[in-house]
Amino acid sequence: MMKRTTTFLLLTCIRLFAAPAWAEEPREKENLSDVPAAVLKSQYLSIAESADFRELWPYLDAQRWGEAKPLAEQLVAKHPQEPFSHFLLGYILLRQHDNMSAIRSLRRAERLGSKHPALPKTIGLAYYAINQFLLFKQQMQKGIELAPDDPWPHYYLGLYEATVTENFAAALGHFDRALALRPDDAKMIYYRGFCHEMLDQRDLARKDYEEAIGRLNSSEASFSLPHQGMARLLASTDSPAALRHAELAVAQEVSVVANHSILAKMYEVMGRIPEAIRELKAAVRADPTLAAPHYQLYRLLTKQGEESGASRELAEFQKLKMLYGS
Amino acid sequence: MVRECSFAVLLCLSCRLPVAQAQFELLVGPRQAPQAHSAQELDDYLEILDAPSDRERVRLVEAFAQHHRHSELLGIAYQYQMLAYRGLNDYDGVVQSGERALKLHPDNLNTLLILANTLPNRVATGTVDDPRLAQAEQYVRLVFEGIERMKLPRSVSPQRWQELRLEMEASAHEALGHVATKRGKLQEAILEFERAVQQNPVPQGSQFYRLGVAYMLAQKNDSAREALSRAAELGPDGIRKMANMAMQKLSTKPH
The pLDDT tens digits of the residues spanning A236-293 come to 999 999 999 999 999 999 999 999 999 999 999 999 999 999 999 999 999 999 999 9
A200: left (phi over 0), alpha (psi -120 to 50) or beta: left
Q: Domains in chain A: how many in total?
A: 2
Long-range contacts of A136-145 (CB under 8 A, 24+ apart): A136/A160, A138/B39, A143/A117
For residues A155 and A130, membership in a common domain is answered with no
B84: amino acid identity, one letter: A
CATH numbers and ranges of domains, chain B: 7-202 (1.25.40.10)
- Angle of CA points A107, A111, A115, to nearest 5°: 95
CA distance, residue A228 to nearest chain B CA (Å): 22
The last residue of a domain, from among A162, A189, A222: A222
**Per-residue pLDDT, B150:** 87
For residues A64 and A31, membership in a common domain is answered with yes
Is A245 part of a structural domain of the chain? no
* 0.90 surpassed by pTM: no
- The CB density around residue A313, as the number of other CB atoms within 10 Å, is 25
pLDDT in tens, A97-148: 999 999 999 999 999 998 888 899 999 999 999 999 999 999 999 999 999 9
For residues A3 and A132, membership in a common domain is answered with yes
Among A104, A135, A319, whose Cβ lies nearest the Cβ of B36?
Answer: A135
pLDDT at A184 over 50: yes
pLDDT in tens, A287-315: 999 999 999 999 999 999 999 999 999 99
Looking at A113-223, list the stretches that DSSP marks H as alpha helix, in order from N- to C-terminal side.
118-129, 133-146, 152-160, 168-181, 186-198, 202-219
pLDDT at A189 over 90: yes
Task: Tell me the pLDDT of chain B (255 aa) as tens digits.
Answer: 333 333 333 444 444 444 433 344 555 667 778 999 999 999 999 999 999 999 999 999 999 999 999 999 999 999 999 999 999 999 999 999 999 999 999 989 999 999 999 999 999 988 888 999 999 999 999 999 999 988 888 888 899 999 999 999 999 999 999 999 999 999 999 999 999 999 999 999 999 999 999 999 999 999 999 999 999 999 889 899 999 999 998 887 666
A325 touches chain B (CB under 8 A): yes
- Domain of residue A168: give its range: 151-222
Is A218 part of a structural domain of the chain? yes
**Per-residue pLDDT, A1:** 44
Is A116 part of a structural domain of the chain? yes
For residues A15 and A128, membership in a common domain is answered with yes
Mutate which: B24, B37, B152, B154, vs A, most A CBs within 10 A: B154
For residues A203 and A104, membership in a common domain is answered with no
**Per-residue pLDDT, A53:** 82
* Dihedral pair phi/psi, residue A255, rounded to 5°: -85, -5
Contact between A323 and B161 using a beta-carbon 8 Å cutoff: yes
Domain with A207 in it: what CATH number? 1.25.40.10
For residues A156 and A132, membership in a common domain is answered with no
Is A122 part of a structural domain of the chain? yes
**Per-residue pLDDT, B151:** 86
Distance separating alpha carbons of residues A78 and A86, to the nearest angstrom:
11
CA distance, residue A100 to nearest chain B CA (Å): 8
Mutate which: B25, B42, B72, vs A, most A CBs within 10 A: B42
Q: Which residues contact B237 (CB under 8 A, 6 or more apart)?
A: none
Residues of chain A contacting B24 with CB distance shorter than 8 Å: 130-131
Instruction: Write the CA distances from A11 to A14, A34, A59, A215, integer angstroms.
Output: 9, 7, 14, 20
Is A230 part of a structural domain of the chain? no
Rounded average pLDDT over A78-95:
92
A127 touches chain B (CB under 8 A): yes
**Per-residue pLDDT, A5:** 42
**Residue A90's pLDDT band (cuts 50, 70, 90):** very high
Among A135, A138, A288, whose Cβ lies nearest the Cβ of B158?
Answer: A288
Rounded average pLDDT over A16-34:
31
For residues A127 and A9, membership in a common domain is answered with yes
- For residues B180 and B137, the answer to whether their CB atoms sit within 8 Å is no
Is A73 part of a structural domain of the chain? yes
Distance separating alpha carbons of residues A85 and A98, to the nearest angstrom:
17
**Residue A62's pLDDT band (cuts 50, 70, 90):** confident
For residues A171 and A46, membership in a common domain is answered with no
- The CB density around residue A103, as the number of other CB atoms within 10 Å, is 25
**Per-residue pLDDT, A47:** 66
Is A290 part of a structural domain of the chain? no
Q: What is the ipTM of this complex?
A: 0.78
For residues A5 and A80, membership in a common domain is answered with yes
Rg (CA), chain B: 19
Is A258 part of a structural domain of the chain? no
**Per-residue pLDDT, A316:** 96
For residues A70 and A97, membership in a common domain is answered with yes
**Per-residue pLDDT, A149:** 93
